[in-house]
A and B are shown apart, each in its own frame.
Chain A
């Protein structure tokens, strides 16, 4: 375990790197402002108006409820896909024959438009949480599966031999040698999958009229309230960023201290 000092310094570095993120966002906001000045408030409200709208929304308890609903649906879909995808990906990674059989099905799954899934799931599950959660899960299952399978299949066999030669048992080899290598490949993909889960959840909510941010967006659309719609987009992106930087990135940096050590000085800061 890294010492407390190291941990604090790592956290401080992470927070400090927030400035560069903020700078990037400011550039984005500047372009947004230019577009706003060109097209006017009705088509594209300014960033400040949007922020004000978002602030007003956050003042209402019901808005928090909506955010929570969508986040929990997206997260449960993500978790479902994460567990199923990782377990089946591991199995397929160890058995090339299974991987070859499953690969076309994954291509098939990736090829079906998400909207088609929503129609099917609405018929099967009705217009409730189950549809939204399952849509989110279906959207990120294929990439999680492929990530886990490739992580296992591309493992370093030399390390396997090393572990075997030291008399490590099968289970121990799996958890100490193979899993870290798989996570190495899987973690960036999980970050991507989380984003996909949020997007799919909001879309499913909008189309299935199933509450959450999606439905709030649908209401804004029918009122032609662009500021409100943008505010909701802003909030859903913030929810995603909150989960990513509050949950996924800390886990990742905990598991990848060694990667940090490998980075040249200029990249660290």
Chain B
């Protein structure tokens, strides 16, 4: 049973094709990392999958109930406290008590302290803002999460901490997810499966399963896998290329 099925997705901006014939399946409770060189259309694909963009071709089948997106920027409401930001997408029918319970549970899941919940986004550090954004996605009862390079702006130690949060709450049979990144270490740490997007957006180049479950992998294994992918595996040859603006 697939949670998300993308079939033959194609998209163009102002006549310039950015995505063509992309077919991708993500299983229930599976976390897939999508990698590819900068500018190959990863974010566009995520926006299409999350329903923020209408694709020109192809169709999407979603069997999960709700999804949420964690963006590259935290995208918090500056006029609301962290508590209200986390609760922004909660269903309105909830009682005040249920609401509060959900918010506290989501905050605890991302290790946000209770006293930080009444602060405004300007008073929070970069890591706390991004944690609030993840808590908001978790609180929304989503059973599928999209991540659009969410930890790019964070320093390495903080990034690892955030990846652990993702490993704990996404994948492992709880929620499925699609995680976009251009950091191979990140992809290998958190995902069940790494999928490589073609560098010109023309289909999926290939995929690699990673054997132990995320969370059971040690740093050494991750390091060696990444080295193997980058040095010996032809699939990953173009992943670290920079092709922001290419002709055609």
Contacts and interface: CB of A to CB of B under 8 A. Distances in A.
A261 B123 contact: yes
Contacts of A172: 92
B78 A167 contact: no
B47 to A, nearest CB: 8
- Which 8 pairs between the two chains have the least Cβ-Cβ distance? A166-B89, A165-B69, A262-B122, A162-B75, A258-B120, A261-B120, A258-B79, A180-B79
Contacts of B69: 161-162, 165-166
B122 A166 contact: no
Nearest to B148: A165
Contact of B89 (A168, A184, A257, A261): A168
A166 B136 contact: yes
B44 interface: no
9 contacts: A161-B69, A163-B89, A165-B51, A165-B52, A167-B68, A180-B77, A258-B81, A258-B120, A262-B122
A168 B89 CA distance: 6
B67 A258 contact: no
The SS class assigned to the A binding surface is helix
Contacts of A262: 78, 120, 122-123
Contacts of A167: 66-68, 89, 140
Interface string B94-134: 00000000000000000000000001111100000000000
User: Which of A184, A255, A261 is the most central at the interface, judged by chain B CB atoms within 10 Å of its CB?
Assistant: A261
Interface in A210-269: 255-259, 261-262
Interface residues of B, number: 29
B79 A158 contact: no
Contacts of A30: none
Given A168-B88, A258-B79, 18 more contacts: A159-B75, A161-B75, A162-B71, A165-B50, A165-B51, A165-B69, A165-B146, A166-B69, A166-B136, A166-B140, A167-B140, A177-B77, A180-B79, A256-B79, A258-B122, A261-B120, A262-B120, A262-B123
A163 B68 CA distance: 9
A166 B79 contact: no
A262 B67 CA distance: 32
In the complex, which of the residues B75, B80, B122 has the most CB atoms of chain A within 10 Å of its own CB atom?
B75
Interface residues of A, number: 22
A176 B68 CA distance: 17
Contact of A258 (B66, B68, B78, B142): B78
Nearest to A165: B69
A256 B122 CA distance: 13
B33 interface: no
A184 B79 contact: yes
A4 to B, nearest CB: 14
Contact of B51 (A164, A177, A184, A256): A164
A257 B84 CA distance: 14
B25 interface: no
A256 B137 CA distance: 25
A158 B73 contact: yes
Nearest to B119: A261
A158 B71 contact: yes
A177 B123 CA distance: 20
Nearest to B90: A166
